[in-house]
Amino acid sequence: MSEIETADRQPKRRENLDFIREIVQRDIESGRYQGRVVTRFPPEPNGYLHIGHAKSIALNFGIAEEFGGVCHLRFDDTNPETEDMEYVEAIMRDVRWLGYDWHDKLFFASDYYEQLYQFAEQLIREGKAYVDSLDEEGIRQYRGTVTEPGRPSPYRDRSVEENLDLFRRMRAGEFPDGAHVLRAKGDLAAPNMKMRDPLLYRIRHTTHYRTGDAWCIYPMYDYAHPVSDAIEGITHSICTLEFENNRAIYDWTLDALYEEPRPHQYEFARLNLDYTVMSKRKLLQLVEEKYVSGWDDPRMPTIAGLRRRGYTPEGIRLFCQRIGVDKTNSRVRFEVLEDAIRDDLNTRAPRVMAVLRPLKVTLTNYPPEQVEWLDAPYWPRDIDKAGSRRTPLTRELYIERTDFSLNPPVDWTRLSPGGEVRLRHAYFIRCDEVVTDPISGEIVELRCTYDPDSLGRPASAARKRSTAIQWVSAAHAVPVEVRLYSKLFAVENPDMTEEGKSFKDYLNPHSIEVLPNALVEPALAAAAVGERFQFVRHGYFIVDPDAQPARLVFNRIVELPDAYNARQPSPDLGRKAKAEPTPSSSGEAAVGSLSEERARVRAADSWLAERYAHYTSVLGLSAEQADPLTGSREVAAFFEAALATGATARTVANWVNNEVLRQLKDKGLDGLTFSAADLGELAKLVDSGAVTTAAAKTIYAEMAAGAGAPSEIVRRRGLDQNLNQEELQSIVAQVLAELPEKVAAYRSGKTSLLGMFTGQVMRAAGNKADPKQVQAALKQQLEA
RNA sequence: UGGGGGAUAGUUUAAUCGGCAGAACACCUGACUCUGGAUCAGGCAGUUGGGGUUCGAAUCCCUGUCCCCCAGCCA
């Protein structure tokens, strides 16, 4: 790497990190947690894990692995009404199956109930929580709406003693469900509804699957979660987007109870997959109402379902890697999942022959009693694996019905009347006669002849285009049941229901097709449950647990891409075209919120209104320039103070509007590290041409960082020294010499590289150069 | 309607904090092939609209539009 490129670089960050990993990396570098990385996967044991959870598991466990940390498995079991040990076990099985290990870091929020309780008493003692005796409806009423602030509950000002007494009696079981709740003293006027005195505890006289009847008050998620994180020393608490508003309570709770460095919450977008639903409630409904055979129905997006379907952990992890992590709400196409699974299976599923819809073939010139055991490799040439089995060829065979066509299209490469085709691992055959059922007209048999010289020989030019089709010997074939699965739902987004319909109305009636009379070659007779194969030209299959030794059952995991069928016009099941963007109004009228607000301020403040008029008529500023400058007296005064240095109005206005406003947004005028006079001086330097605008940006950046007055910065960085032509030419030459490939690319037409060259030269020249001159020099040398 | 978040090829996403808009999946073409698979080569295609600052904007400023989340004693 060249000196020029490495100069002025930030410490190198790992490339292509998602935003969460970037935060983790930064925290490691800054030593925020002394280099510790502790994440957690916090399922509630009230349902089975699904592919969406896999994304979260891969994220949390993946980060721990990659950054030398640990990931806890914590059951967030704070609601006794829905939780069950069955789910705990299923979840552990699924996480382990996905290939992740929590070692000894298995936790339950229910183990923290006592600590949680003690912390709650602390909050009460500190006046930060109170017992509210409003009923559910009352609480709702007092909470207000998104547009109206809430009102304080009549019980909000109870004394600490009374609160403590009531809370202890709540624990002691003196009150029925719903009589009281413990609430945080938040802000009832907060625009964030979550902060309007969130509930911390409720009374539930319900047996908990782990703590039994030890408790009759249970903590709420918003309270239990941050405290559990803190108890475990979690550093990065990663959850999905819908908890963004809850982060305020998360921080409120931990600020009250813990000190930095404490856990912090970060949110990412949950996975949405086309043609499936991902809510536990809906999946539970499918199971309970028997739309599927159970949580592990191979059509379910649950981990258990995908496992039974035959998906591999590696494939699922590959999928998670490919979809990335971001905050954008998105829907991932089903093919992306399927493609990841295929990618994984391609190198690990041996190829075998199966005939799903058999059509009888008789080789009329093949000796009736003869059996040839032909060598058939399990792997295609491009996969670096060895191994083969022998497969028997006899006079009577079965081939796939779909591999024969009575009236083939021009690009047909399989069997047709009078045509030839290769039997995979065997001979070429020619179809001489088609036997049909005289009544139904159905094709019942093909009478063919085989070419005894074609075994193991390359195809002749004439036969080159033929596909090698799969087949089985009629005498040796093993009858099996094959279950063909496809999408559970018939529409892309079953959550988006029409008026009066439910997601269940969009179930795909053909999501399972059972073929009871499929045939596989004898090598598969002893296949074990869980073994995966590629049925050549069909797809990947796995032996289902329903299989009996005498009756194998195969599930189709995923089909092979079919370039032939893909080319055929099919009913369009694709996505709707993107909606036309609504035509936008032109930007003439400034009616937006901020601008609107400033107009209101001016209407109420004649001095500001007068300044606005002055700026536009006397100073010659445009309305767009004058507007942001006259939104408050402070900004206008700042602008005029800068102007008093003698700089031009236009320059000062641009600097204030484009640069200073940014600082003002988060720090306010008082937080500024430089004065209006400083900015005026900077503007004058630009006006007079003493420094280039590029240099001015550098100076401004330093001013904003508190490096002092412009003149001082200029002197320190030597930005007033002019670069003479000779020096410029030499820097340009040097930069070009460092980047020979780029120069070649530019010369062969990639002129967009000019910007990159300019940037390099500007950097090398310490921004002392004038970009216009730089570009002139660059063009001259590049085109020389 | 208050608040919080989001918008980059058809889709999912990168872009070293102002300097080459890059990839994967999908699609198309070709090569190869005893799988119409895989692989290889090539191609199509993008910064939410408008304005501004700048030599240069996906990135900074102003201003629109669209989408998601929040008013459970669920998580």
Question: What's residue A7's pLDDT?
Answer: 27
Between A462-471, A562-571, A737-746, the lowest mean confidence (pLDDT) is in: A562-571
Q: Is the CB of A515 under 7 A from strand B?
A: no
Closest CA to the C1' of B13: that residue is A324
Mean pLDDT of A109-133: 98
Q: Is the CB of A465 under 7 A from strand B?
A: no
Closest CA to the C1' of B32: that residue is A382
Residue A592 has pLDDT above 60, yes or no: no
Closest CA to the C1' of B18: that residue is A759
Angstrom distances, CA of residue A347 to CA of A306, A340, A350, A532, A559: 19, 12, 8, 11, 15
Question: What's residue A15's pLDDT?
Answer: 59
Task: Tell me the CA–C1' distance in angstroms for A583 and B48.
Answer: 11
- Between residue 116 and residue 145 of chain A, the positions with Cβ below 7 Å from nucleic chain B are 134-136, 139-140, 143, 145
**Per-residue confidence at A470, pLDDT binned at 50, 70, 90?**
very high
Q: Is the CB of A19 under 7 A from strand B?
A: yes
Paired tokens of A414: 């399989």
Q: Is the CB of A559 under 7 A from strand B?
A: no
Mean pLDDT of A237-252: 97
Q: Which residues make Cβ contacts (< 8 Å) with residue A58, sequence separation at least 6? A: A98, A317, A320, A321
Task: Tell me the CA–C1' distance in angstroms for A587 and B63.
Answer: 6
Per-position b or e across A446-467, b if 16+ CB within 10 A of its CB? bebbbbeebeeeeeeeeeeebe
Mean pLDDT of A513-527: 97
How many other β-carbons are positioned within 10 Å of the β-carbon of residue A87?
22
Q: Which residues make Cβ contacts (< 8 Å) with residue A589, sequence separation at least 6? A: none
Question: What's residue A48's pLDDT?
Answer: 97
Question: What's residue A732's pLDDT?
Answer: 92
d(CA A772, CA A431): 77
Q: Residue A401's closest CA among A459, A372, A442, A458?
A: A442
**Per-residue confidence at A666, pLDDT binned at 50, 70, 90?**
low
- Between residue 692 and residue 721 of chain A, the positions with Cβ below 7 Å from nucleic chain B are 693-694, 697
**Per-residue confidence at A5, pLDDT binned at 50, 70, 90?**
very low
Q: Is the CB of A221 under 7 A from strand B?
A: yes
Which nucleotide is closest to the Cα of A271 by its C1'? B12
If residue A661 lies in a helix (H) or strand (E), which one and from where to where? helix A661-667
In angstroms, what is the C-alpha Rg of chain A? 36
Task: Tell me the CA–C1' distance in angstroms for A688 and B56.
Answer: 22
- Between residue 756 and residue 775 of chain A, the positions with Cβ below 7 Å from nucleic chain B are 756, 758-759, 762-763, 771-772, 775
**Per-residue confidence at A385, pLDDT binned at 50, 70, 90?**
very high
CB A155 within 8 A of CB A185: no
CB A777 within 8 A of CB A729: yes
The DSSP bridge partners found for residue A451 are A428
Residue A301 has pLDDT above 50, yes or no: yes
Sheet architecture: strand order including A38-41: A38-41, A70-75, A106-108
Paired tokens of A702: 């330093």
Q: Residue A450's closest CA among A476, A425, A422?
A: A422
Mean pLDDT of A420-433: 97
Task: Tell me the CA–C1' distance in angstroms for A83 and B54.
Answer: 60
Closest CA to the C1' of B28: that residue is A567
- Between residue 588 and residue 607 of chain A, the positions with Cβ below 7 Å from nucleic chain B are 590-596, 598
Task: Tell me the CA–C1' distance in angstroms for A563 and B41.
Answer: 18
**Per-residue confidence at A562, pLDDT binned at 50, 70, 90?**
confident
Q: Residue A457's closest CA among A425, A431, A432, A415?
A: A425
Between A102-116, A372-386, A572-586, A699-713, the lowest mean confidence (pLDDT) is in: A572-586
CA A448 to chain centre: 54
Q: Is the CB of A16 under 7 A from strand B?
A: yes
Task: Tell me the CA–C1' distance in angstroms for A653 and B59.
Answer: 22
Residue A98 has pLDDT above 50, yes or no: yes
Mean pLDDT of A621-641: 89
Model pLDDT for residues A333-363, shown as the tens digit of each residue: 999 999 999 999 999 999 999 999 999 999 9
Task: Tell me the CA–C1' distance in angstroms for A666 and B14.
Answer: 29
Which nucleotide is closest to the Cα of A150 by its C1'? B71
Question: What's residue A572's pLDDT?
Answer: 34
d(CA A481, CA A428): 29
How many other β-carbons are positioned within 10 Å of the β-carbon of residue A517?
12
Angstrom distances, CA of residue A31 to CA of A19, A36, A62, A235, A264: 18, 8, 20, 12, 15
Question: What's residue A568's pLDDT?
Answer: 59
- Between residue 383 and residue 442 of chain A, the positions with Cβ below 7 Å from nucleic chain B are 383, 411-414, 422, 424-426
- Between residue 235 and residue 264 of chain A, the positions with Cβ below 7 Å from nucleic chain B are 241-246
DSSP letters spanning A389-447: EEEEE-SEEEEEGGGB-SS--TT--SB-TT-EEEETTS-EEEEEEEEE-TTT--EEEEE
Angstrom distances, CA of residue A544 to CA of A351, A529, A623, A784: 18, 6, 73, 71
Question: What's residue A11's pLDDT?
Answer: 32
Residue A321 has pLDDT above 50, yes or no: yes
Question: What's residue A581's pLDDT?
Answer: 33
How many other β-carbons are positioned within 10 Å of the β-carbon of residue A92?
17
Which nucleotide is closest to the Cα of A763 by its C1'? B19
| A9-18, A87-96, A331-340, A740-749: which is most confident | A87-96
Q: Active-site positions of A?
A: 44, 270, 280
Instruction: Classify A756 as helix, strand or coil.
Output: helix
**Per-residue confidence at A766, pLDDT binned at 50, 70, 90?**
confident
Q: Which nucleotides of B are covered by protein (CB under 7 A)?
A: 1-8, 10-21, 24-28, 33-39, 48-57, 60-75
DSSP letters spanning A266-318: EEEPPP-BTT----HHHHHHHHHTTSSSSTT-TTSSBHHHHHHHT--HHHHHH
Q: Is the CB of A570 under 7 A from strand B?
A: no
If residue A239 lies in a helix (H) or strand (E), which one and from where to where? strand A236-240
Mean pLDDT of A521-543: 97
Task: Tell me the CA–C1' distance in angstroms for A566 and B28.
Answer: 12
d(CA A74, CA A94): 14
Between A56-65, A127-136, A636-645, the lowest mean confidence (pLDDT) is in: A636-645
**Per-residue confidence at A6, pLDDT binned at 50, 70, 90?**
very low
d(CA A405, CA A316): 38
Question: What's residue A510's pLDDT?
Answer: 94
Write down the ipTM of this complex.
Answer: 0.95
Question: What's residue A3's pLDDT?
Answer: 29
Closest CA to the C1' of B49: that residue is A584
Q: ω into residue A581 within 30 of 0, thus cis?
A: no
If residue A652 lies in a helix (H) or strand (E), which one and from where to where? helix A649-655
Residue A725 has pLDDT above 90, yes or no: no
Residue A703 has pLDDT above 60, yes or no: yes
d(CA A506, CA A488): 9
Q: Residue A222's closest CA among A59, A123, A76, A122?
A: A76
Per-position b or e across A689-722, b if 16+ CB within 10 A of its CB? eebbebbbebbbebbbeebebbeebbeebebeee
Task: Tell me the CA–C1' distance in angstroms for A465 and B31.
Answer: 15
Task: Tell me the CA–C1' distance in angstroms for A244 and B68.
Answer: 12
A562/A37: higher pLDDT = A37
pTM value?
0.91
Residue A176 has pLDDT above 50, yes or no: yes
What length is written for chain A?
784
Residue A576 has pLDDT above 70, yes or no: no
**Per-residue confidence at A593, pLDDT binned at 50, 70, 90?**
low
